[in-house]
Structures are given as structure tokens and as C-alpha cells.
Amino acid sequence: MELKIYENMLTIASMQELRLSCGFPLLDSGMVRTALARSLLNLSAVVDERVVGMLRVTGDGVFVFVICDVMVHPEYRDRGIASAMVLYSLRCIENMLPSGVLGTVSLFAAKEHVRLYKRLGFEALPSRDRGPGMQLTVIGRQGEEK
């Protein structure tokens, strides 16, 4: 299996196809277009000219980065594709940072993937020096009266 990773080539169709294959619902195409456009980086993992994995990086592009939407098609899992994409994204993030500047890379790991991210150097929170990661889900109200 020859894996190729491409930067900022992910299409709406490929993202939607991966979402479906991984058990996530389709999103509005306009929303996907906006999400891709606002990403600092998106990666496509390609095997035999087929997009089999994706990853996005969001954040301020200065010193805060968030890895999200790491997905690998079920037929291609357990082949190191997710690890390869995360490592590739970390190199890209390092190259975005000015020399000597510290950046923070965060992510939310599904429980079954915590080991993967720990192997790649991520630290589970809370830790000795940091509090727990936290999350809040909000519902959009765009267009509603304030």
C-alpha cells in the first residue's frame, strides 16, 4: 500500500464520503465549504487514487492549533494512516510557527483512540500540570431574533 498525503486538496465530496463511511451524517455542502476554507490546513490521505483519510487543523495560526476531523475509511484502518496524518500535520504546524515560539496543539480524542495520540506524544488531561480538557455544545441561532 502506497500512502500519499496531500495538503489543502480535500474536496467537499471527499469529506462527505469519509463522514458517511465513518458513521457521521452528511453536512450541508455550504457549511463544509466554509469549514474547509477556514481551516489552517487540511490533509487528504490517498491510496490508489482514492481518498481514504482526512484531517483538519484549525486555530489562530499563531500559537494555538486544534487537530480535528481525523477520519480513516473503515476498510483502511489499522494501517498507520491516522498516525501518518497526525505526524504530517505536526510537521506542518511546526513550520507555521516562528523559530523558537511555543505552540499548543489540542485535540479531542475518541476514547478508543486515546492510545494512538499518547503514542504520538499527546498528553491526556487532566495531568500533573494541566486541568481537564473541557467542551460545551451550543446550538446555532443564526437569523433568529436576539
Fill in the DSSP letter of residue 100: T
Domains and CATH numbers, the chain: 3-119 (3.40.630.30)
- Please name every residue paired with 101 in a beta bridge, in sequence order, or none if there are none: none
| Residue 25 pLDDT level (bands cut at 50, 70, 90) | very high
DSSP β-ladder status, 104-107 and 64-72? parallel
Q: Are residues 17 and 26 in contact, defined by beta-carbon separation less than 8 angstroms?
A: no
Kindly report the average pLDDT of the chain as a whole number: 92
Beta strands in the chain (DSSP E): 3-7, 41-47, 50-59, 64-72, 104-107
Residue 138 has pLDDT above 80, yes or no: no
Q: Are residues 45 and 3 in contact, defined by beta-carbon separation less than 8 angstroms?
A: yes
In this structure, the number of other CB atoms found within 10 A of the CB of residue 40 comes to 17
Q: Are residues 16 and 29 in contact, defined by beta-carbon separation less than 8 angstroms?
A: yes
Asked whether the whole model's pTM tops 0.75, one would answer yes
In this structure, the number of other CB atoms found within 10 A of the CB of residue 56 comes to 21
With CA atoms as reference, report the closest residue to 57 among 105, 114, 4: 105
pLDDT digits (tens, 9 = 90+) for 76-94: 999 999 999 999 999 999 9
Which residues have CB under 8 Å from 106's CB, separation 6+?
64, 65, 66, 67, 133
More reliable by pLDDT, 133 or 11: 11
In the predicted model, what is the mean pLDDT of residues 56-62?
95
Q: Are residues 38 and 116 in contact, defined by beta-carbon separation less than 8 angstroms?
A: no
Which residues have CB under 8 Å from 28's CB, separation 6+?
none
| Residue 101 pLDDT level (bands cut at 50, 70, 90) | confident
